[in-house]
Amino acid sequence: MPHTTNDEVRTAVRDRYRKAATASQSCCGGADSGSASCGCGSSQKSTDIGYTAIELAALPEGADLALGCGNPTALAGITAGETVLDLGSGGGIDCFLASKRVGPTGKVIGIDMTAEMISKARANAVRGGYDSVEFRLGEIENIPVADSSVDLIISNCVINLSPDKGRVFAEAFRVLKPGGRLMISDPVLLKPLPEDLKDNVALLTGCIAGAMVKEEYLAEIRNAGFENVRVERESQYAKPEHLSSLAVEAGISAETVALVAESVASVAIFARK
Ligand SMILES: C[S@@+](CC[C@H](N)C(=O)[O-])C[C@H]1O[C@@H](n2cnc3c(N)ncnc32)[C@H](O)[C@@H]1O
């Protein structure tokens, strides 16, 4: 963000996701949402982005806030006994799905910098009886986890929100065990957005303006030391009609919405330490 400080970005992001955590129903289309202002920019449902109805039905009520842009646990090849870390865990959706896969001998840790999200996720864990899932308050640029202690890092529609993505990948590299892997879903740009959109707070907190050009994003991951960096899946982030609430909030024209829709892709990226 050329004219916005890192602290201003974090404050704006926290404000938006505090609202998402405290809305009484799912943000995208929930009764209290009113607009897209409490979540990521697209109004797609979780079944549109890769979750199965069976997965969603097994979750504790309130865990699916429809804030993701993929289903990283489905692609990560998780095995029993693994330790999984979720960067930006929100209401805990991917932590709970990972927990089913690692089983009672494994462990799942979710990190989020929004206190209200952590409270919500913890309540969801208690409600669903997820004893081996732990939620820690913290920033993904300063991950509160020991060096070389994690088998797999997942993240879903979060790293685009960070003002220091290089630092996030360096921290991810630090906490992974040698041979550990990364499986992240995130929006990336297929072409740069116009300069004047980059400081648009609604587009930033709505998971669009902070997205990096795909090749630069992959280069950041490699620069942190990761190997075998590859895009496992790629699809359109959102159709224009899924961005209508965000467009109103961001004050952008239908023409700009169309440009955004064709410029942003949702990717699932694998990498290994
Ligand atoms: C779009 S939501 C995604 C939540 C969850 N991964 C999901 O798929 O439902 C982004 C989440 O990341 C958190 N977040 C954003 N930036 C963060 C950062 N720098 N450090 C820690 N958490 C962050 C927000 O508080 C929010 O809960």
- The identity of residue 177, as a single letter, is K
Q: How far is the CA of 235 from the centre of ligand 1 (A)?
A: 21
pLDDT for 26: 46
Cβ < 6 Å from ligand 1: which residues?
13, 17, 40, 65, 67-68, 88-90, 93-94, 111-114, 117, 139-141, 156-158, 161-162, 207
Q: How far is the CA of 187 from the centre of ligand 1 (A)?
A: 13
pLDDT for 29: 36
Our mutation pick for probing the ligand 1 site, out of 19, 112, 139, counting the most ligand atoms within 8 A of Cβ, is: 112
Q: Which residue has the higher pLDDT, 246 or 30?
A: 246
- Domain ranges in the chain are 6-272
Spatial contact of 96 and 134, defined as CB atoms under 8 Å apart: no
Q: How far is the CA of 204 from the centre of ligand 1 (A)?
A: 13
Q: Is the pTM for the entire model greater than 0.85? A: yes
Q: Whose CA is nearest to atom 2 of ligand 1?
A: 67
pLDDT for 44: 76
User: Region 251-260: what's the mean pLDDT?
Assistant: 91
Q: How far is the CA of 41 from the centre of ligand 1 (A)?
A: 13
- Please give the full DSSP string across 201-230, using - where no structure is assigned: HHHHHTTSTTPPBHHHHHHHHHHTT-EEEE
| Percent of residues, the chain, with pLDDT higher than 90 | 81
Spatial contact of 42 and 246, defined as CB atoms under 8 Å apart: yes
Q: How far is the CA of 105 from the centre of ligand 1 (A)?
A: 27
User: Which ligand 1 atom is the nearest neighbour of the CA of 66?
Assistant: 9
User: Region 241-246: what's the mean pLDDT?
Assistant: 88
Where would I find the beta strands (DSSP E) of 68-194? Answer: 83-87, 107-112, 133-137, 150-156, 176-189
CATH of region 6-272:
3.40.50.150
